[in-house]
Amino acid sequence: MPPRHPDRTIMEIDTSELPGIAADLLRDGHRLALVAAHHDDDSAPGGRALRVVYLLTAGPPDSRIELHVRLDAALPELPTLAHRSFPAGRFEREMHDLHGVRILDHPLPRRLVRHFHWPKGWYPMRPDAGPAPAFGEQEGPYPFLEVEGEGVYEIPVGPVHAGLIEPGHFRFSVVGETILKLKARLWFVHKGIEKLFQQRTIDAGLPLAERISGDTAVGHALAYCLAVEEATGIEVPPQAQRARALLLELERLYNHVTDLGALCNDVGHGILNAQALRVREQLLRLNENVTGHRLLRGGVIPGGATLRAVPDPEHLRAVRDDVSEIVSLALGHSTVRDRFTGTASLSLDAVRDLGCLGYVARASGLAHDARTAHPFTAHQPPTMAVRTTGDVLARFLVRAEEFDTSVDLVAQFAGDLQPGTARNPLPPPGAPARDSGVGIVEGWRGTITTRVELAADATLARVKPVDPSFFNWPALPLALADTIVPDFPLTNKSFNLSYAGNDL
């Protein structure tokens, strides 16, 4: 058996022990990073079962603890952890919808992934699910909570929107212009990615990982590769790890500058968006030089990394000066600043309770960054951008500061990198293997966690990626309470959550 990640421990426990152990770990400062269900057949070491894996992480120091629970394959039933962890409740609902696991005593036993037309009793992640059937008999009603009272009306928005954005349905309950309640219904772009991963070779899994969320190609590809490398036990050359860290920061750069401009555009200050888009285009061309793809696909590969060119630090510093000017112009504009300040603020308590990640969490004061908590190279960001107000302005400022830090990091990485491929070979397809691995990466949106299990012939038995959007979506309605309707697009942009990464 290849070596596991030195910081990962696996505990096989009984369902009755689960709530207690999980509660202890959560109290110790661990967060629930991932929950994945596995349908083990008779050839598995423990025999036929529905095995649920809970991954809890903390850091620094890097700690990864897995709780494995085995359920009856014919009638899987699981005690809920929703009372102790909000994300656990959502993972459980997802598991119910995709695997048909019954969750006992769940406080919100509503559907999450299952859309209206999914036929009753069909669970796509079960091994015997087969191809997707025709639209069938619905599984019970799927109502929105109706807010009642004088003058309350509903605004339904989406799933098709006016701009070029992804599909999601939002139901606002409004009095006058003030939002009383917002319900977001997602999973319109559920593509069955977890199912598509199964039985692919490791190399064939990479293009799929890069396409989980188009703007996070490096983040998801890297999390996938780190997980696969742990599962197969191959070492990655240090130079390749540095190249990966560089690509990760390049991805942060182009996405953050896009958001900085888009936030200005959403308050009607289009000129700064035009300038930000100009900078973005420069960065996308740089990306094309570096990896051959404008969105950085193909740079991170299992076992290593490949660079066509190394970015010029001087060029990036010029870009940083441009962005600093855009940011200072935005903050110096009284109307823009007024629109950002105090809009849709999210409290630190809410961030903690919901398990938010990335700039959303850091803007509310939660100092969490997987680059320091779960590092894969020795290089770490020197500072962490944290704000405490949790409003649109804080999310804008965190992005601006992270942009600067990332430019420094890229310059630092570029100093001792050469173009070319650095890679240790993977075991050949069909080689005997059976193990699991976990990859944790701070993508530009937040912490991405991917867990991989290999089959006996070294193909992918199960890949479970978790995008930070999965944790951050529930925070959006919370931040919007008592915000006015015309500020929703601005708030939504300040979160800029992925639909594709959430819906999988």
Partner 1 sequence: MNVIGYTAVVAQVALVVAGAPLLTGLMRQVRAKLEGRAGAGLIQPWRDVRKLLRKQPITPTGTGPAFRAAPALLVATAAVVAALIPLVSTQTPVRRHADLIVVVALLALGTVALALAGLDSGTAFGGMGSSREMTVAGLVEPTMLLAVFALSIPAGTTNLPAIVSGAIHDPTRLASPAGLLATAALAVAVLAEAGRIPVDNPATHLELTMIHEAMVLEYAGPDLALVELGSQMRLTVLLGLLTSLFAPWGIATSATWTALAIALVLFALKVAALGAVLAAAEVFWAKVRLFRVPELLAGSFLLALLAVTASYFLSGTGGGL
- Tokens representing residue 427 in the block: 């075991």
Nearest approach in angstroms of CB 479 to partner 1 is 15
Task: Please report the DSSP string for 246-269 in residue order.
Answer: HHHHHHHHHHHHHHHHHHHHHTT-
Give the nearest distance from C-beta 486 to partner 1 in angstroms.
4
Residues 155-214 that bind partner 1 (CB under 8 A): 155-157, 161-163, 177
Residue closer to partner 1 by CB (options 340, 471) is 340
Rounded to the nearest 10 degrees, the angle between the axes of helix 313-332 and helix 238-266 is: 30
In which element (H, E) is residue 153 found?
Answer: strand 152-157
Q: Which of 486, 455, 450 is nearest to 467 (CA)?
A: 450
Residues 331-350 that bind partner 1 (CB under 8 A): 333, 335-336, 338-339
What whole-number distance in Å separates Cα of residue 498 and Cα of residue 425? 33
Q: Which neighbouring-strand residues pair with 440?
A: 449
In the list 110, 117, 278, 285, the residue contacting partner 1 (rule: CB under 8 A) is 278
Residue whose CB is less far from partner 1, 279 or 438: 279
Cβ neighbors of 271 (< 8 A, separation 6 or more) are: none
Residue 154 interacts with partner 1 (CB under 8 A): yes or no: yes
Q: Could you report how far apart the first and last alpha carbons of the chain are, in Å?
A: 31
Burial class (CB in 10 A: 0-12, 13-18, 19+), 192: middle
Does 317 interact with partner 1 (rule: CB under 8 A)? Answer: no
Q: Which is nearer to partner 1, 215 or 487 (CB)?
A: 487
Least Å distance between CB 269 and partner 1? 4
Q: CB under 8 A: which stretch of 55-63, 211-219, 239-247, 274-282 binds partner 1?
A: 274-282
Residue 383 CB: number of other CB atoms within 10 A? 10
With CB under 8 A as the contact rule, the residue among 145, 271, 367, 456 that binds partner 1 is 271
Size of the site for partner 1 (CB under 8 A): 30
Residue of 303, 285, 305, 308 lying closest to 295 (CA atoms) = 285
Which one of the spans 150-158, 206-214, 220-228, 246-254 is the region binding partner 1 (CB under 8 A)?
150-158
Which of these segments, 63-71, 266-274, 318-326, 357-365, binds partner 1 (CB under 8 A)?
266-274
The verdict on 390 binding partner 1 (CB under 8 A) reads: no
Using the rule CB under 8 A, is 267 a contact of partner 1?
yes
Q: Is 162 helix (H, G, I), strand (E, B) or coil?
A: coil
Distance CA 413, CA 371 (A): 14
Burial of 339 (0-12, 13-18, 19+ CB in 10 A): buried
Instruction: CB nearer to partner 1: give 8 or 161.
Output: 161
Nearer Cβ to partner 1 (75/271): 271
Binding residue (CB under 8 A) for partner 1 from 29, 136, 238, 268? 268
Q: Which is nearer to partner 1, 203 or 281 (CB)?
A: 281
In contact, 41 and 354? CB cutoff 8 Å: no
Q: Which residue lies nearer to partner 1 by CB, 126 or 337? A: 337
Kindly state whether residue 270 participates in binding partner 1, applying the rule CB under 8 A: yes
Residue 334 beta carbon to partner 1: minimum distance, rounded to whole angstroms: 9
Spatial CA neighbour of 355 closest among 106, 34, 69: 34
Of 462-491, binders to partner 1 (CB under 8 A) are 484-489
How are the residues of the chain apportioned to helix, strand and coil, as percentages rounded to the nearest 5? 40, 20, 40
Q: Does 384 bind partner 1 (CB under 8 A)?
A: no
Nearer to partner 1, 41 or 482 (CB): 482
Q: For the CB of residue 162, give the shortest distance to partner 1 in the complex, in Å.
A: 4
Residues within the interface to partner 1 (CB under 8 A): 153-157, 161-163, 177, 264, 266-271, 274-275, 278, 333, 335-336, 338-339, 484-489
